Structure 1
Amino acid sequence: MSGHTESDFETAIEAGLLGAGGYASRSPTAYDEAMALFPDDVTGFLKDSQAAKWAQLEALLGSKTAATVLDSLAKELDVKGTLHVLRYGFKCYGKTFRLAYFRPNSGMNPEAAASYAANRLTITRQVAFNSVMKKADGKNRRCIIDVTLSLNGLPVATAELKNNLGSSPQRASDAVRQYCDTRDERDLLFVFKKRALVHFAVDPDEVW
């Protein structure tokens, strides 16, 4: 890491995950605040990995297919939670869609290997949304997350980064306080089990 700012730290982490790390970068504008999802990655993964089921729905729903699928996913996440949906998928119009494929036990099954390879791992820097936590003057508080990691469009982890070098050094403990004091558990990204499953406080020496 050549620089001494949080942005430099973000850049270093992103560089480590891209390419050989298997991740792709996503723009924060791809994030849908209302659903707390990356909808294009959700629908893109489903179209690529379960094309026949998607085509059947599309024949039935036409231009409403993507919106209907995303609505079904959001409802299932609300009721059953992220971990359940990742393990068992979700239903839409009687069809069960997988939202993740896990690494096969061996390379003997080419179809299983291809399904696993279809997973989309993404990193997004500076995801922003209006928090339900208001400012002292009653106005909306804009919440910005340093790093969001997603699997097939579903956020599974967030991270607040601190750099203990430079002119204004901070540590991972400061990121912990940031989560406790300025992040609201009512915001969908943070609601227990419904979106991100884990939140990291990180500096160059420690991860909490």
Structure 2
Amino acid sequence: MPIDTSERVFEREIEYCLTHLGKKSQRYIKGNPKDFDRALALDGKMLIAFVQDTQPDKWQAIVRRHGAEAAAQSLLHRVGIELDKRGAIDCLRHGIIDIGVEVRLAYWKPGSRMNQSALALYEKNRLSITRQVKYAMNSEHSIDTVLFVNGIPVVTMELKNPIKGQTYQDAIVCNTKKTAVLVRSCCPSRSAPSCISPWIPTRCG
């Protein structure tokens, strides 16, 4: 039987390790590439689920202001605007405001385990991994693997195989081009996710 030397094997291994190994509370969620909003550069389904789960009162306030049918898209649009203006790190740290409603986009690890309510919210952060993310508005090109924190992309991965004569330098060049297109597709002023990251987020510590 011939050995599969494609990058997709590496993708599957990374996905399996992050979604199956380690403590259950620290495992990643397997994302669906169809949930990625190319215009906003977000996994909208994951972000809305996080808000509904951790801030139900804030979600209901947004529904009252925008209406049930428009609430999700209106919130995602606001998040996209804030990401364009402030960048992902600032939005994850400080959240956003949508028509007077303060919404957290992540919960950070509390200083001690004594505050059980803060710890419970921290453990509800949704870390996800999505493979073959189509990012451009005018093509079907895809990024091999993207890591998200509550639907917001923070790491992109371009995988290469040395058997085919490719090195990490080829991955850097390719990924830099793709993330540049991703950023231009949603907003020229938005900073790109980390494409050469020395860390993989485990929790928002």
Under a length normalisation based on structure 1, what TM-score does the superposition of the two structures give? Answer: 0.82
Q: Secondary structure at the match of 1:198?
A: coil
Given residue 185 of structure 1, which amino acid in structure 2 is its aligned partner?
Answer: A
> Judging changes above 3 Å, is the alpha-carbon distance between structure 1 residues 93 and 158 closer, same or farther for their aligned structure 2 residues?
same
* Structure 1 residue 153 corresponds to structure 2 residue 151: yes
Q: Secondary structure at the match of 2:170?
A: helix
For structure 1, the residue ranges without an aligned partner over 5 or more in a row are 132-139, 203-208
* Structure 1 residue 96 corresponds to structure 2 residue 102: yes
2:65, 2:172 → 1: CA distance? 48
Cα deviation, 1:32-60, whole Å, max 9, x if unaligned, reads 11111011111110010011111122233
* Structure 1 residue 194 corresponds to structure 2 residue 190: yes
2:191, 2:110 → 1: CA distance? 25
Instruction: Report % sequence identity.
Output: 34
Given residue 116 of structure 1, which amino acid in structure 2 is its aligned partner?
Answer: Y
Deviation at 1:117, TM superposition (A): 1.0
Equivalent residue in structure 2 for 1:175, among 153, 171, 189 = 171
Equivalent residue in structure 2 for 1:38, among 22, 25, 43 = 43
Deviation at 1:27, TM superposition (A): 1.5
Higher strand share: 1
Deviation at 1:93, TM superposition (A): 1.0
Residue matched to 1:24 = 29
* Structure 1 residue 58 corresponds to structure 2 residue 42: no
Aligned residues: 190
2:57, 2:175 → 1: CA distance? 42
Deviation at 1:161, TM superposition (A): 0.6
Deviation at 1:141, TM superposition (A): 4.3
Given residue 194 of structure 1, which amino acid in structure 2 is its aligned partner?
Answer: R
2:139, 2:15 → 1: CA distance? 26
Residue matched to 1:137 = none
Structure 1 contact 125–147 (Cα < 8 Å) conserved:
yes
1:14, 1:196 → 2: CA distance? 22
Q: Secondary structure at the match of 2:158?
A: strand
Under a length normalisation based on structure 2, what TM-score does the superposition of the two structures give? Answer: 0.83
Deviation at 1:9, TM superposition (A): 0.7
Residue matched to 2:5 = 4
Q: Secondary structure at the match of 1:147?
A: strand
Higher helix share: 2
* Structure 1 residue 70 corresponds to structure 2 residue 71: no
Structure 2 contact 35–43 (Cα < 8 Å) conserved:
yes
Q: Secondary structure at the match of 1:56?
A: helix
